Amino acid sequence: MSRVEIRISGFGGQGVILAGIILGRAAALHDGKDATLTQSFGPEARGGACSAQVVLSRERNLYPCVIRPDILVVMSQPAYEKHIGEVGAGALVLYEENLVDPVDLPKECQAYGIPATRFAEDIGRKMVLNIIMLGFVTALSDVVSAQAVKKAVAESVPRGTQRLNEDAFNRGYTYGLSLKKKNDEAE
């Protein structure tokens, strides 16, 4: 891994920025990688556009901005429409399948959807959608170890919610591994 560019995008209130922070923390503190995070928000407090850009590398990263995402994680249709044109050849596109219809997906991309909102509702807290997505990203991308992300989740969420968030991570991670296995068997 020389440099991996990740964009996580969705609506404000979906935990997009926290997901970026956790991913960067996992890489930097627990996997020994260099990580940078930049973020952007719409003017609305909730419901507006929101994006976290994470750049990971083994060496010191001298440019913190995402140029062409290797991994695009989208949790809303407007986020998908805004950022799908930015992905590079062979990019991994991960999306919330109940909120995003991946139309006009570049042919060279690999795309996987997860019903993260439904899973979050099944767990009992819709607010863990972002942690489910982090588990999904971890399973399908291999850019940060599962152990590192689990540690970063536990360090980043409010006290008393660690078990809930661990369950959310595991739900997304297990689902991602099952899709990866199906894809490997089909090839």
Encode pLDDT of 52-92 as tens digits: 999 999 988 888 889 899 999 999 999 999 999 999 889 99
Encode pLDDT of 5-47 as tens digits: 999 999 988 999 999 999 999 999 999 999 999 998 766 556 6
- Cα separation, 132 vs 168, in Å, equals 5
Q: Is the dihedral of CA 84, 86, 89, 93 positive or negative?
A: negative
pLDDT over threshold 60, residue 1: no
State the Cα torsion 162-42-56-131 to the nearest 10°: 20
At residue 64, the pLDDT reads 85
Domains and CATH numbers, the chain: 4-186 (3.40.920.10)
Stronger pLDDT, 57 or 186, i.e. the higher one:
57
Provide the b/e sequence for 74-104 (b: ≥16 CB within 10 Å): bbbbbbbeebbeebeeebbbbbbbebbebee
Residue of 77, 8, 11, 71 whose CA lies nearest to 39: 8
Please state the φ and ψ torsions of residue 125, each to the nearest 5 degrees. -145, 105
At residue 74, the pLDDT reads 97
At residue 187, the pLDDT reads 72
CB 126 within 8 A of CB 104: no
At residue 124, the pLDDT reads 87
- What is the pTM (predicted TM-score) of this model? 0.93
Encode pLDDT of 113-136 as tens digits: 999 999 999 998 889 999 999 999
